[in-house]
Amino acid sequence: MAVHAHPDDESSKGAATMAMYVSRGVDVLVATCTGGERGSVLNPKLQGDPWIEENIHEVRAKEMDAAREILGVKQAWLGFVDSGLPEGDPLPPLPEGCFALQPVEEAAGELVKLIREFRPHVITTYDENGGYPHPDHIMTHKITMVAFDKAGDPDAYPEAGDPWQPLKLYYNQGISLDRIKALDAAMNERGLESPYKEWIARWEDSERKPREITTRVPCGDFFEIRDKALIAHATQIDPDGPWFRVPLEIQRDVWPTEDYELARSLVDSSIPEDDLFQGIQVGAAKISNAS
């Protein structure tokens, strides 16, 4: 199960990993916390269309359905309302009733219910910083941590179904400074214009500290599927934008993995890993290499 804040997050974070596991027969569910109702139209080719702006919730739901089909995953909405990304100094208050203002324990109950229905062995989500400090991403982290701990507790959320305890929890860490620098260097070596110069400069000027990468999942053969799913979120992604300026052959050669940080594990598994299911056994059969 991959727990994400908005439609499109599943396609920019861990999508190739999900597609790879689906190809090996693993049942994968994306849990989308909000409908992305307050997201801006970021693709300049679609900006200024009043119908899209007035119907953004419906549009983004259709985009999610298209991306889901491309990835081959299942998908469920938790039903919370997008909080938007506050901007300005001082920051404006979050809108009443939005996801980020919900009581954490109460909101986590919706995810507990979904976990008990789907019964995943592995869950992926964001770290405590949300991957980046969007209030919905941080809230997604909070409810996922509570749900991971409580889903197996028969005394917690008794109305949410029979207990089920996931075994491993990972944070998506697909965008690391080391990865960006490696791709930047590869582009420069080939005489190509890198999209990462300003990104690297901002990162190095910030106080952002590197995260521990414990798990690198080889999934380069599924980068093309990842990109198709991302492009399906047409209001959010410009197909001619920086996401797609590094040729796939360079990405596969330089950094053919999607990377994760193991945050919780109830099974024995050695670090570093190359498989989210390392150490997990179901009955007498060990899930290894997603087989």
Cα–Cα distance, 38 to 3 (Å, whole number)? 19
Instruction: Provide the Cα torsion 16, 30, 35, 172; round to 10°.
Output: -50
What is the structure's pLDDT at 89?
83
224: its two tokens: 């093309």
What is the structure's pLDDT at 152?
98
Read off the amino acid at residue 46: L
Question: Based on the domain organization, do 195 and 157 belong to the same domain?
Answer: no
Report the predicted TM-score, pTM, of the whole model to 2 decimal places.
Answer: 0.94
CATH number, residue 129: 3.40.50.10320
Question: Based on the domain organization, do 128 and 161 belong to the same domain?
Answer: yes
Q: Tally helices (H) and strands (E) across the chain.
A: 10, 9
Q: Which residues of the chain have pLDDT under 50?
A: 284-286, 288-291
What is the structure's pLDDT at 197?
92
DSSP E strands in 50-152: the ranges are 74-80, 122-125
Cα–Cα distance, 201 to 32 (Å, whole number)? 32
- Summarised one tens digit per residue, pLDDT across range 139-159 is 999 999 999 999 999 999 999
Q: Is the dihedral of CA 291, 162, 168, 279 positive or negative?
A: negative
Question: Based on the domain organization, do 185 and 170 belong to the same domain?
Answer: no
**H or E stretch including 171?**
strand 168-172
Question: Binding site membership for Zn(2+): which residues?
Answer: 6, 9, 137
83 near 34, Cβ under 8 Å? yes
For the chain, the C-alpha Rg in angstroms (whole number) is 19
> CA nearest 238: which of 76, 44, 92?
44
What is the structure's pLDDT at 289?
44
The number of domains in the chain is 2
Question: Based on the domain organization, do 50 and 24 belong to the same domain?
Answer: yes
Question: Based on the domain organization, do 106 and 193 belong to the same domain?
Answer: no
Question: Binding site membership: which residues?
Answer: 6, 9, 137
What is the structure's pLDDT at 8?
97
Cα–Cα distance, 247 to 245 (Å, whole number)? 6
- Residue 247 located in a structural domain: no
* Domain range enclosing 181: 177-210
49 near 41, Cβ under 8 Å? yes
What is the structure's pLDDT at 167?
98
What is the structure's pLDDT at 282?
62
What is the structure's pLDDT at 276?
98
What is the structure's pLDDT at 232?
98
